[in-house]
Amino acid sequence: MDDELNMSVRKFLKQVGVTSQKAIEDALRAEGVDPAKARQVKMVLTIDDLGVEHVVTGEIKGSQE
């Protein structure tokens, strides 16, 4: 992969990370319930013209203070 393409991918992923974190934090604040409750999460990346669908699943959980 050439350097320009690599930098473009990294820039996109940074944008995804920053905006996704904000969306998650905003949703948790708006919910106003136990922040220690585990939430199942799924992120789906699609690249239509390449036929790519990449799914990442996980869990987000706060501390048990």
Secondary structure class of 42 (helix, strand, coil)? strand
The pLDDT assigned to 12 comes to 97
Q: Is 2 left (phi over 0), alpha (psi -120 to 50) or beta?
A: beta
Whole-model pTM?
Answer: 0.77
Residue 65: pLDDT band with limits 50, 70, 90: low
Residue 64: pLDDT band with limits 50, 70, 90: low
Secondary structure class of 36 (helix, strand, coil)? coil
The pLDDT assigned to 28 comes to 86
Question: What's the pLDDT tens digit per position in 22-62?
Answer: 999 898 889 877 777 899 999 999 999 999 999 999 999 87
